[in-house]
């Protein structure tokens, strides 16, 4: 089996707090939250990062963003939120299965 923690969570062989799941996307709580609300919006298809997206992934990529909207509207009452995607180690990525960080629940300042 693929040695990827997010693939294992998607396969159900590693535990996670799952917020919602569709055929294309799974949303879990980040195990080490950086904000009061810190979810990870993860494609069920393994791709390393957004640099590996192709036009064939257009529907999935759209569904990732629409899932963020769904989480905001249905679970977070439309509270302001921030999305972060790290692509590559130098950008801070440590899990090399693409994912969107959805952060909310606190006042955030500008980056850096």
Contact call for residue 28 and ligand AMP (CB under 6 A): yes
Q: Considering the candidates 2, 38, 99, 101, report the single residue annotated as catalytic.
A: 99
Looking at beta carbons only, is 90 or 109 nearer to ligand AMP? Answer: 90
Interface with ligand AMP: number of residues (CB under 6 A): 12
Are 106 and 33 in contact by the 8 Å Cβ rule? The answer is: no
Are 103 and 90 in contact by the 8 Å Cβ rule? The answer is: no
Are 40 and 20 in contact by the 8 Å Cβ rule? The answer is: no
Q: Is position 38 annotated as part of the catalytic site? A: no
Residue 49 Cβ vs ligand AMP, minimum distance, rounded to whole Å: 9
Residue 70 Cβ vs ligand AMP, minimum distance, rounded to whole Å: 20
Of 8, 54, 6, the closest CA to residue 30 belongs to 6
Contact call for residue 92 and ligand AMP (CB under 6 A): yes
Interface with Zn ion: number of residues (CB under 5 A): 5
Burial class (CB in 10 A: 0-12, 13-18, 19+), 13: exposed
Contact call for residue 7 and Zn ion (CB under 5 A): yes
The catalytic residue positions are 99
């Amino acid at each position: 089996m693929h040695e990827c923690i997010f693939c294992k969570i998607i396969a159900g062989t590693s535990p996670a707090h799952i917020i919602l799941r569709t055929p294309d996307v799974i949303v879990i709580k980040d195990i080490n939250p950086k904000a009061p609300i810190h979810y990870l919006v993860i494609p069920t298809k393994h791709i390393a990062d957004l640099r590996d997206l192709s036009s064939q992934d257009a529907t999935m990529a759209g569904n990732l963003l629409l899932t963020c909207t769904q989480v905001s509207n249905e679970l977070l009452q439309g509270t302001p939120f921030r999305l972060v995607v790290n692509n590559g180690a130098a950008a801070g990525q440590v899990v090399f299965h693409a994912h969107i960080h959805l952060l909310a629940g606190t006042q955030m300042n500008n980056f850096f």
